[in-house]
Structure 1
């Protein structure tokens, strides 16, 4: 295992584009950290700098107690699992998994032992003599992980490894990846654009936006105390409702004139942004807030109500057993449901 420290690590391309702003991250031994954000936010660039596949413009990267800025990728004792598997089509599963060890000159008996151990761990024992074309997508991804495991790396790097799989298989594979990482006790960095994947896999999450780290925290912290409107709207399915409004220091009022009595208010007065998660709302015929339901979206285990609150778009998430229909109704907010953000910067107040 190895701890990872990024001290002001930054990436600027020759054309002047800053892909990653200076970032400071400490990852202790054995932690699985997920880098999440939309396409182009810099998460894969950051991972590739750790891997040595992208040059670091400024700052220092430590893996363990060693500065890695100028260390070749092959000498970093890391293993990377890619989105596209990167398997040799003419080799069997066993040869694909053991190829890196063969190149390092390990004895055949030791290679066979390591491959067998990894295959057992990944339920690939019956597929060792098959070629990649004879495997499913999930089996190919297991082979790619097996190839990484046999190297006994200090650090695992995953770059959107499940993007090519269907939804059911993605769910299964992320459970397997999490269980595997915990069993091995190895430090891992995992890149995804899927916030559900991030929430279910991570010990901690790093949320990136336009090359900047918006927030670092546990899944619970990211969800319950988003540091900005970007994090609030990106993390959560469905996303948080974000409104514009005002605060007088004691009470918040939505644009449109609806006051959120009893919900508190930030000490900052004037224009603010207000966030309410759809699941922190209850339908209540005697509730204080009028809500006009335009659409009821059935999703099996739950249903979403989409409509208008104080003239602004608003969604409510309900249990599948709760009755719902279009038209006017009233709602009540659960305790702690309201989040307040700065009107300009969007940062949490």
Structure 2
């Protein structure tokens, strides 16, 4: 079993900085979990605590049935893939992949068999006798993954492994990594600041902000039902529109006084209203959308402008002919999310 359990795990550095506030969650056997958030949110620190590279200030961490707070990294049965590949430049691909096994005194014929199997899996057979300098960035990352695979670990840890690659190669590699993880069935924790990577690769996502877990859920849950304005604005490209509004007895109003939906039960007063750009309808409705810029993206268009003096973006398909100007717009009630104006929590 390679289930991972974090129970009130916390990290405080010697200068008093609390990098990770107490957090608790479980990663199921075989699950691909992504930690996502902006730089400095604590995601890499959390991963390093799981790896044993950072001591845990308080709380407990279990891998399988064993509490590993005081277990050395080498004894945790994990394999880690780093951002910078960490390959030995003087060694061939074959030796780089098998080096960790050699250090563990695995017999030579077993090392050769494992390296060959990993090379076939990663399309590296033709490159086994080359040095890292002779490889592309994507091929080097495959070598780093091969080194992790041959160890046959209970847990894979990925620390922003694609951030050094160009956009096209990142797209290709994230598909390969996810397909490989499903094939191997190894529990995996993946750290990224890229919300597209998180959405496309994860079974579940943990969204972190300032060392605090904002939300845990599937990609669909995170996207369609964000728990806070931070999640709403961080997840999505473009992000959810967030606007100041007011709930009164006769409805939800934007700044121009237009009611966009009936008043929800149980709340009256100022709110932050959210709606995804693709959920709006142009050409009908009581609100007015002042379009100032049309962004052509091939299969669709993004319309940028304002509603009631507030910045707004709408998503339309390529066959919807829109030019800068003012249009009626419908903000469907079922698509709206309401958040507390001060705490940002979803109402």
Q: TM-score per shorter chain, which class? A: over 0.9
Query: In the alignment, what sits opposite 2:339?
Result: 341
Question: Separation in 2 of the partners of 1:175 and 1:26?
Answer: 24
User: 1: CA distance between counterparts of 2:318 and 2:40?
Assistant: 36
Quote the offset at 1:250 in angstroms. 5.7
1:167-192, Cα deviation, whole Å (9 max, x unpaired)? 00000000000000000000000000
Asked whether the 8 Å contact 2:240–2:276 carries over to 1, the reply is: yes
Q: CA deviation at 1:302?
A: 1.3
Q: How does the TM-score come out when normalised to structure 2?
A: 0.98
Moved more, 324-333 or 233-242: 324-333
Determine if the alignment matches structure 1 residue 136 to structure 2 residue 160. Answer: no
Deviation per CA, 1:13-37: give whole Å up to 9, x if none.
0111000000001111000000000
Distance 1:236 1:10 in 2: 29
Unpaired runs of at least 5, structure 2: none
Query: Compared with structure 1, are the counterparts of its residues 291 and 257 closer, same or farther at alpha carbon in structure 2 (3 Å cutoff)?
Result: same
Unaligned runs of 5+ in 1: none
Q: What is the 5 A alignment of 1:131-210?
A: 131-210=131-210
Give the Cα separation in 1 of the matches to 2:268 and 2:90. 67
Moved over 3 A (4+): none
Of 264, 289, 292, 1:291 maps to 289
Residue from 289, 295, 303 that aligns with 1:305: 303
Asked whether the equivalents of residues 35 and 207 of structure 1 are also in contact (C-alpha less than 8 Å), the reply is yes
Contact 2:291 2:326 in 1 (8 A): yes
Contact 1:87–1:132 (8 Å) recurs in 2: yes
Is residue 2:97 matched to residue 1:92?
Answer: no
- Structure 1 residues 256 and 289, CA gap change in structure 2 (3 angstroms): closer
Q: Alignment RMSD, CA only?
A: 1.1
* 2:38 paired with 1:38: yes
Q: Which residue of 1 aligns with 2:267?
A: 268
Take 1:15 and 1:273, find their aligned partners in 2: how far apart are those partners?
36
Tell me the distance in 1 between the aligned counterparts of 2:235 and 2:173.
21
Number of matched pairs? 347
After superposing the two structures, state which structure 1 stretch, 129-138 or 313-322, moved more. 313-322
Say if 1:17 and 1:309 are closer, same or farther in 2 by CA, change over 3 A. same
1:278 maps onto 2:291 in alignment: no
How far does the alpha carbon of each residue in 1:122-173 deviate from its partner, in whole angstroms, 9 at most, with x for none?
0101100000000000000000000000000000000000000000000000
Aligned residue for 1:53, secondary structure, equals: coil
SS of corresponding position for 1:54: coil
Q: Distance in 2 between matches of 1:327 and 1:221?
A: 35
TM-score by length of 1: 0.97
Which residues in structure 2 correspond to 1:55-94 (within 5 Å)? 55-94=55-94
Q: Is the Cα contact below 8 Å between 1:41 and 1:209 reproduced in 2?
A: yes
